[in-house]
Structure formats: structure tokens, C-alpha cells
Structure 1
Amino acid sequence: MSAPKPQLRAVGPDEVPEPTKILTLSEAIESGDYLQILLAQRREIATSLPDEKGPAKAALHRQLSIISKEIEGLQRGEEEDSEGGANVEDGEFDAEAI
């Protein structure tokens, strides 16, 4: 299960945002946050890519592409979730209305 999302709030004129801590792969795994795990995997692949050759390099490029698409999808989903929506209670069901 991932960590709860922080609530949005207005920032004061004298406030400076805290830098986001970049987690190692083992820290990300320990946190249980799937997005952080993917980000750490992508960093490790990108770091090891220059040392690879041939089929191994091609495989890492493919894996990098797959992970990047998944990260983009998760981040897009977070943005859509943070935009919110109407918080409306369900009405009573009326079978005769159908």
C-alpha cells in the first residue's frame, strides 16, 4: 500500500518548498511506494546503460521505455486525482424510474 497523499494548501510568500528526497532502490522498496520503486529502477537502468553493449543494452533500452511509460501513467493518474471532483452522495434508487 502506498503512503497517503499530502493535502494541498496555500504556500506563504516566505515559504520555500522542501526538496524531494531521491530514494535508492532498496529505500524505495522498503517504503512500499510503487511509483518510487519505478523511479529508482529507472535511475539504476539509466546509470548502467552506458556500460552495456549489444543485446543487454537493447534489453535495458526496452525496459527503460516500459518503466517510463508506467511512471507517466501513474503520475498522470495522481494529477487527475488531485484535481478532485464532485463529492456527491448517492440518491435513493427508484426502480420505477427506469
Structure 2
Amino acid sequence: MVTATLDVTFAALADPTRRAILARLSRGEATVKELAEPFAMTQPAISKHLKVLERAGLVERGRDAQRRPCRLVAAPMRAATEWLGGYRRFWEESYDRLDQVLSDE
């Protein structure tokens, strides 16, 4: 289950437009129209990106009268961050060993 969640999360984060949408949503809710403004693409194209983010659990849409604001859901990124953390430790340990080798010479 964790692997499938990571696959969907990383696939959603692989696109620069989707990462920009998440960055915008990290500052607060926004409508599709508001999210589309800085991009040279249509609202339907932004909606397709939002559907990918929704399937990954990174975005949810609410309902506020006639507005359907989108909001960031950061929880799926926690698993990705933890997974990447293992590799961060690997590289830190590798650099520590390299520093030790270089200081011994």
C-alpha cells in the first residue's frame, strides 16, 4: 500500500505545473480560475492537473456556495518525505565517510 501511495504521489509531483499549483495552494485556497491565471493554459487543462493531484490525495475541492475552492492536503507528502529521508541519511553517511578518508590522507 505504501508503495502504491508513493508511486501516485511522485507521479503527481513529477510535473512542474502540478508542483506550481501545490505551491500556490500552500498559501491558501484557490478556485480553478485563480489557479489558471499564471499559466498559459486553459481552465480545463488546469482541471486535468487538479484531477491528478486529487487522485494522489494532494488536493481536495470544497464547496462554498457557487465557489469550489481547492485546498492543499499535505499528508501524502509525509510518506514521500520519510521515504526520501532514508536516502538523505545514506548520502550524509557517505559524505561523512568521504570526509574521514580525505582527512586521513
TM superposition score normalised by structure 1: 0.29
TM superposition score normalised by structure 2: 0.28
- State the structure with more CA Rg: 1
Query: Higher helix share goes to which structure?
Result: 2
